[in-house]
Amino acid sequence: MQIITTKKGLQATVAACKQINKTIGLVPTMGALHDGHASLVKRCVAENDVCFVSVFVNPTQFNNKEDLAKYPRNLEKDAQFLCDLGADFVFAPTPEEMYSEEEMNTTFSFDFAGLDQVMEGKMRPGHFNGVVQVVSRLFYLVQPNRAYFGEKDFQQLAIIHHMVERSSLKDTFDNLRIIGCPIVREASGLALSSRNERLSEDEKKTAINISRILKESLTWPRTSVKEVEQRVVDEINQVPGLEVEYYSIVDGTTLQETDTFDNAVGCVTVYCGPVRLIDNIKY
């Protein structure tokens, strides 16, 4: 496995793969890799001739600089993890290599068709501008046939689908398939996340209640969407150490509010102590 740190080196490697008609798969990550990432990489390796994985903590998608500073980083550990999984190339640039100074200090502009006005977009202004900025750049550089994303970040996945299939960029990425992969959970039910590294053992036991309550909500009487939403919030908030930021049951395609459980997805963000965790469930 080869680690590439420059855009020029990446493009040369991609060109060599394209020249011999290799299919290319890409798994964009911010490092701190876990078994959730492993599921994406394994599928990428199985479905493509060449597997590229990016390891880049993207500063433009953090609206909280303290959160950016605390994000776990260990490239040596991540590289060994990816090598064991059969990845062929790791792209691990610095922010200065990825962006010009002007790009770092200018908000990336994109028409989200309203997908960024709810949930994570509402709570983290500018977050998805940074996501689209880095992902579109990776797509330009790697020119993948397939790109793999986890369904835990449900809103992000919907926005990436929009970018590739319905936005003004769709002609640029007309040969690219976006592959959404199921949430990977610990045996306890806790959704795997790089942020879990910041949880103490006691906090992990507390955080288990998020997925437990979401799963239980599937069995509750569906009197109305709003009543189920409120009950989920109330039950999570009753657990000492947990505080819901939002719980929204939305249309699984448009991400807008819905009054039906058809094609509905419940998306939650919960603080467990100081750590912000997300999860979702399909109704």
Residues 145-172 have pLDDT tens digits of 999 999 999 999 999 999 998 887 888 8
Binned average pLDDT, 10 residues per bin, the chain of 283 residues: 98 98 97 95 98 96 84 92 98 96 89 91 92 96 97 96 87 91 96 92 97 98 94 98 98 94 97 96 97
pLDDT of residue 59: 94
pLDDT of residue 63: 80
Sheet with 89-91, strands from edge to edge, namely 2-4, 89-91, 50-55, 24-29, 146-150, 177-181
Q: Is 161 a catalytic site residue?
A: no
Distance, CA of 240 to CA of 244 (rounded, Å): 12
Distance, CA of 198 to CA of 75 (rounded, Å): 18
pLDDT of residue 169: 80
Contact between residue 7 and residue 141 where contact means Cβ atoms under 8 Å apart: yes
pLDDT of residue 49: 98
User: What's the gap between Cα 78 and its chain centre?
Assistant: 17
The whole-model pTM stands at 0.93
The catalytic position among 37, 127, 161, 162 is 37
User: What's the gap between Cα 37 and its chain centre?
Assistant: 10
